[in-house]
Amino acid sequence: MFDRFWKDIDKYFEEFGQDFEQAFKKSFKGLSKDSENSLTWGYRMYWDNSMNKPVIKYFGNFDPTTGKLLEEGWRIPPIEKNYDDNNNIWNVVVDLPGIKKENISLSATTTYINIEATSKKRKYKHKVDFDQEIDPESVKAKFNNGILQISVNPKIPIKTEEKKISIE
């Protein structure tokens, strides 16, 4: 069991390393030394219970898969998204340092939650996609000390019960 786990971890780090290298090669091609656009980029790795595997999420002011800067001044905030099997709910945690509650805008559809947050010095924007339909009417959000916590119910509960299969 643990051998598979560590092989998966090694695989994800190898893929991450390749993505990281490609992103920086692409990113630095278009920027001159006197560019006003400074690069802000990082990653967050966490275990996603709904997919039963580690997930790597990028944040910053450019897309590491394309190497292109985002719209002027905007950043992708650090985000963590997990499915809680016990309560049948998606939990999303977003780091928004330097932002006030009244400067956050949230909207939702059946497939994503859109986040925009601004201050004098920072602007964050990101669309949090879901692999299944969610209920936009069930979205609840709390904001405290730069941390936005969002919860939303899936339209159809994810079943994680194990079913015994008979062999013929």
DSSP 25: H
In a domain, 113, yes or no: yes
Query: CB count, 10 Å around CB of 42?
Result: 11
In a domain, 166, yes or no: no
Q: How much is the pLDDT for 161?
A: 67
Of 73, 90, 112, the position where a domain reaches its end is 73
Residues 81 and 64 in one domain: no
Residues 41 and 83 in one domain: no
Q: How much is the pLDDT for 151?
A: 95
In a domain, 51, yes or no: yes
Query: CB count, 10 Å around CB of 105?
Result: 11
For residue 115 the two structure tokens come to: 């986040």
In a domain, 7, yes or no: yes
Distances (CA, A) of 149 to 24, 42, 164: 31, 21, 37
Query: What whole-number distance in Å separates Cα of residue 100 and Cα of residue 147?
Result: 10
Give the residue from 80, 99, 77, 102 showing the smallest Cα distance to 146: 99
In a domain, 105, yes or no: yes
Q: How much is the pLDDT for 64?
A: 62
Residues 108 and 124 in one domain: yes
- Element containing residue 17 per DSSP (H, E): helix 2-29
Q: How much is the pLDDT for 65?
A: 61
User: For the whole model, what pTM was predicted?
Assistant: 0.61
Q: How much is the pLDDT for 85?
A: 81
Q: How much is the pLDDT for 146?
A: 92
Residues 153 and 81 in one domain: yes
Residues 83 and 37 in one domain: no
Q: Give the structural domain span for 48.
A: 1-73
Of 24, 50, 73, the position where a domain reaches its end is 73
Per-residue pLDDT of the chain (168 residues; tens, 9 = 90+): 667 778 888 888 788 778 777 766 665 555 544 344 556 667 767 777 666 777 777 677 666 666 666 677 788 888 888 888 888 899 999 999 889 999 999 999 999 999 999 998 888 988 999 888 999 999 999 999 999 999 999 987 666 667 777 777
Q: How much is the pLDDT for 63?
A: 64
Number of domains in the chain: 2
Distances (CA, A) of 45 to 49, 59, 89, 136, 151: 13, 11, 21, 27, 20
Of 73, 93, 122, the position where a domain reaches its end is 73
In a domain, 164, yes or no: no
Q: How much is the pLDDT for 167?
A: 79
In a domain, 168, yes or no: no
